[in-house]
Each structure stands twice: as C-alpha cells, then as structure tokens.
Amino acid sequence: MRVYKFEELISWQKSKILTVEVYKDFLKHKDFGFRDQIMRASVSVMNNIAEGFERSTNKDFKHFLFIAKGSAGEVRSMLYVALEVKYINEQRFKELYNLTVEISKLLSNFIKKL
C-alpha cells in the first residue's frame, strides 16, 4: 500500500491523539515549565513524522522518525513525574503511557522497514 500523505500514517494519527490529550490535560496547568516541555515533546513526535515524510529520501525520513521516537520517550518520562507529583492520576498515566509505547513500537517497525 502506497502512502501519499503523512496524515495517512498510523504513527502520525496516534501521535496527534497523544498531542491533543496532552494539551487537554496540561494546557491550563500552572507549572508552566513542565506544561510547556511536555506539550513541546508531544508536538515534536507528530511534527517530526510529518517533516520526515515530506523529505525526499528514506534516509532523511528515518532520521526524523528516530527524533520522533526520542520525543515519545521524553513524553513517557515526563508522565512519570506527572504521576508522582499528582498532576495526573494512575489511570490517566496508564492511558497516556500505553499510547506512547504504542507510538514508539510503530516508529521502530517503520524505521526497520526503511
């Protein structure tokens, strides 16, 4: 199956969901440093997938997918802090954590195929 737009990529679709959910959870949060960092990291996942897709070579695309995977790890890491300091509850942590793991797996598989 040929993909013509990055919006068709499941990894991008899932990372958009992650970004929207992170924004919903933290947009009005008063810890501005934490809020801004987790929001930037979540946006970085979807934007690096998109930017890499729009590049002309698989090598470039792969590079951006590695960056996106790193950003997914950053979000996952920050979720631990959010849980520990009670910014989110255990259930919300699990939901967002599982989504980041799913995205990371999708990106790993995609990288291997390239």
Placement of tokens 């919903």 in the chain: 24
Q: Is residue 21 part of a domain?
A: yes
The CATH number for 35's domain is 1.20.1440.60
Q: Which two tokens stand for residue 42?
A: 């979540």
Tens-digit pLDDT string for the chain (114 aa): 788 999 999 999 999 999 999 999 999 999 999 999 999 999 999 999 999 999 989 999 999 999 999 999 999 999 999 999 999 999 999 999 999 999 999 999 999 998
Please state the domain count of the chain.
Answer: 1
Q: How many other C-beta atoms can be found within 10 angstroms of the C-beta atom of residue 108?
A: 14
What pTM was computed for the model? 0.96
Q: Is residue 1 part of a domain?
A: no
Q: Is residue 34 part of a domain?
A: yes
Domain housing 92: 6-113
Alpha carbon of 37 to those of 32, 72, 74, 97: distances in Å?
Answer: 8, 12, 9, 16
